[in-house]
Structure 1
Amino acid sequence: MATEDRSDGLTVTVRLIRSFEHKNLKNVVFHQVDPDTTVETFMDTVRKDIQTRPGLPPPFRKHAYDTMKLEFKAHGNKTNNPLMNTEDNDKLMLKPGATLGESGVENETEISFFKREEYEAFVQNPVTRW
């Protein structure tokens, strides 16, 4: 069985969730992500990148993202909720101090990035509006 070559880093899709209620999200792809990067460092990298990324609307640039959660791994199962998996928080939330690799981030993983307070409110009242 061949092992994955990580010399070029991972490709990771970050799902910026600006509003759970209105289903506002944008996918941003990051290439050559080092799996030994800490969760906090990766969050800072994403926050800095989206400030100047072309094509990203201003509301997504200025949102107060503070939490990451594993959403999907290559060849894995997706949730039935088209916005975000609201289960297994203890297992899927990326924990401060851990590296991306220790958190289960692999090549072609999707990570949701959102404001925790808004997520908790959505879990308590999962109403969406168009």
Structure 2
Amino acid sequence: MATEDHMEGLTVTVRLIRSFQHKNLKNVVFHKVHPDMTVDNFMDMVRKDIQTRPGLPPPFRKHAYDTLKLEFKAHCNKTNNPVINTGDDEKLMLKSGATLRESGVENETEISFFKREEYENFVENPVTKW
């Protein structure tokens, strides 16, 4: 199935979450992402890109991101939580070995990228600080 998205690639926004409690996050946009790229390859690509991306503070470059979760798709509802959607983990967490397409990533999808251990601690105690 050759769609325009498949030919041109997807535009995907990655929400880098460094701290759930302090709402410390940055959005990074990636263009021409191939939908048949694996989740693991996409994570590697993002990690490599953010090492040299202009305007990204050093703490975001060095964080130990290890998990991707679908946050928002174009024309769908957004979560009420300003940091991350803490529901539907089984459905929304991107699984190692799957492609982005198999994971439900479409054009203009927003994906959160974070450290799984920090996320699980936040889910257990969802307190934010300023």
Shorter-chain-normalised TM-score: which range? Answer: over 0.9
Displacement over 2 Å in runs of 4+: none
The equivalent residue for 1:61 is 61
In the alignment of these two chains, the number of paired residues is 128
The equivalent residue for 2:101 is 101
Task: Tell me the alpha carbon deviations over residues 3-38 of structure 1, each in whole angstroms, 9 at most, x when there is no partner.
Answer: 951211000000000000100000000000000000
Q: Give the TM-score, by structure 1 length.
A: 0.97
Structure 2 Cα separation of the partners of residues 77 and 37 of structure 1: 26
Structure 1's unaligned 5+ residue stretches are none
The equivalent residue for 1:28 is 28
After superposition, the CA RMSD in angstroms is: 0.9
Amino-acid identity (%): 80
Counterparts of 1:1-130 in structure 2 under 5 Å? 4-6=3-5, 7-130=7-130
Q: Give the TM-score, by structure 2 length.
A: 0.97
Structure 2's unaligned 5+ residue stretches are none
Local SS of the residue matching 1:64: coil
The amino acid across from 1:52 in the alignment is: T
